[in-house]
Amino acid sequence: MKHSERERFFSKIDYCQPDCWLWLGTLHPSGRPAFKLGNGNNISALRYAWLESHTGESPPRFIVSLCANKLCVNPAHAREAEHPGAAVEYEPVKARFETKVNKTDFCWLWTGLLHPKGYGYIKDRGKNIKVHRLAYELYIGPIPEGMLVCHTCDVRNCVNPEHLWLGTNDDNIRDMRLKGRADRVL
C-alpha cells in the first residue's frame, strides 16, 4: 500500500520547472498543495515530500516552504520551523516588496499592510519592517544607526527612493516646520 501511495503522490508532480516540483493535485482551502493518504487523512503535500526525502528522521512539528512558488513541493525548498507563521519567509523580501508597490508618476505607493498612522509595513523573518526604510536600504544603501528615513513628498506610504532622505529626529521636525506640518497630529 505504501508503495502505491508513494507512486500516486509523485505522479501528481510536474517537473517541467528547472528547480520547482509543481503540484498538480488537490489544494487545501488555503491554496496550498494537499495530498490524501491511503488511510483517508489529508496531509500537506510539501510535508509528504519532505518526509519521503528524510526517511528515518523524526518528523518536525512544522515544515514551511521557502519557495516563491506556492505550488512547489520540492523538499529542497522547505525547512523545519518552530511555528507555522515562519512560512512568511517563503519568498525573498525584495520580491514580495516589489509586488506591493504601485508606481505612479510621482510616488511609489505601498499597497500592502498599513499602520494606523499611514506607514507601510512588511513582515520578514517574523518581524514587521517599515517599508520606507526597506526601500531606502534596497535602492540606496544602509541606514546608519539612529538615523530616520524621511519623506520629501510627505506621503507616508510612499516608498519611492527619490523621495527618501536620511535625517535625525531634529532634521525631521525642522522639515515638518518648514512645510507647515508641525501642527498636524502625528
Question: Under CATH, which architecture does the 93-178 domain have?
Answer: Alpha-Beta Complex (3.90)
Kindly report the pTM of this predicted structure.
Answer: 0.52
Cβ neighbours around 120 below 10 Å, total: 25
Contact indicator for 76, 68 with CB cutoff of 8 Å = no
- pLDDT at site 3: 62
- pLDDT at site 97: 87
Q: Where are the domains of the chain?
A: 2-90, 93-178
**CA 128 – CA 20 distance, rounded (Å):** 28
Mean pLDDT over the full length of the chain: 84
Q: Which residues of the chain have pLDDT under 70?
A: 1-3, 17-18, 67-68, 82-91, 125-126, 182-186
Exposed/middle/buried for residue 176 (C-beta within 10 Å: 0-12, 13-18, 19+): middle
For 3-53, what is each residue's pLDDT tens digit? 688 899 999 999 876 678 889 999 988 788 999 998 888 999 998 998 888
**CA 63 – CA 147 distance, rounded (Å):** 37
